[in-house]
Amino acid sequence: MGGLRWTHKTTRKLAAALKRRGVQASHVTVARLLRAQRYSLRSNRKRLGGKKDPYRDQQFRLLGRRRRRCQRHDWPIISVDTKKKELVGNFKNGGRAWRCEDRDVLDHDFPTLAQGRAFPYGIYDENRNTGYVVIGTTHQTAAFAVCAIRSWWLRVGCREYPGASRLAIEADGGGANGNRCWAWKVGLQDLADEFGLTITVGHYPAGTSKWNPIEHRMFNLISANWAGEPLTSYEVMLKHIRTTQSSTGFRCRASLDTKFYPTKVKTSEEAKATVRLSRHNVLPKWNYTIRPRKRNG
């Protein structure tokens, strides 16, 4: 075993190695010869799947049927997720933007230099091709996720779907809206009681969040819209989100939530028992329905 395979060889290094062996060739010639042998500079591609759940494809088919049914009857169906946490301040943001001059930003992304942290929670309406983002300022919790959905329903959902009695949600299998998170389910129960909604939730299996519609129909557009722009304030973030558009008619709204959401809040057994949760016969760990509780009197 030699060290050659563990070394990154540039065309100049290859030309120097050939010279030591008595072969005169410039780095340009080496590059031309490599291309002739169908070599080129290539990057890593995320194509290999990790641990694949045996029921993954079945869940995808189930989610697809539910989505088509909701769209056929014009029932509200939303895709939800939390975007990457951002530091708010004059920090470098990936990407490039057209300018006459470079923009100077801080050379270190220390949290102590930031105005705060931003937790964008997104709601994508799959029927209307519209988005809604709530930027939290404290923590990414189940209570924050449910409050974001409540804000969307009050400002958008109830107007787009007047008289609706059901709501379908597509979410990842982990995080604040994970399928094992009871705080998420208790919050959805409160939402169902407040608006009289029957809420059906379908989770994506582990390692498949990239197929959640919100990822490639909303979050990628937002990232492209603020690429190369330092997120110097919450208002700057809100404006970039609100001006995000696409050629297919996508539009997005945004709001700021400064409420404090504590972490490590345990859900009591009494609270769990009050949830009217019905697990589906097919893949019950990822699919369930929460119905409004009956009101006394």
| Architecture of the domain spanning 56-290 | 2-Layer Sandwich (3.30)
For 52-80, write each residue's pLDDT tens digit.
889 999 999 999 999 999 999 999 999 99
- Predicted local distance difference test score (pLDDT) of residue 6: 62
DSSP string, 117-178: EEEEEEEEETTTTEEEEEEESS---HHHHHHHHHHHIIIIIHHHSTT--EEEEEE-SSGGG-
Residues of the chain scoring pLDDT < 70: 1-7, 49-50, 295-297
pTM for the structure as a whole: 0.86
For residue 31, count other CB atoms closer than 10 A to its CB: 18
- Predicted local distance difference test score (pLDDT) of residue 237: 97
Each domain of the chain, given as residue ranges in start order, spans 9-36, 56-290
- Predicted local distance difference test score (pLDDT) of residue 60: 96
- Predicted local distance difference test score (pLDDT) of residue 3: 58
- Predicted local distance difference test score (pLDDT) of residue 188: 98
- Predicted local distance difference test score (pLDDT) of residue 297: 46
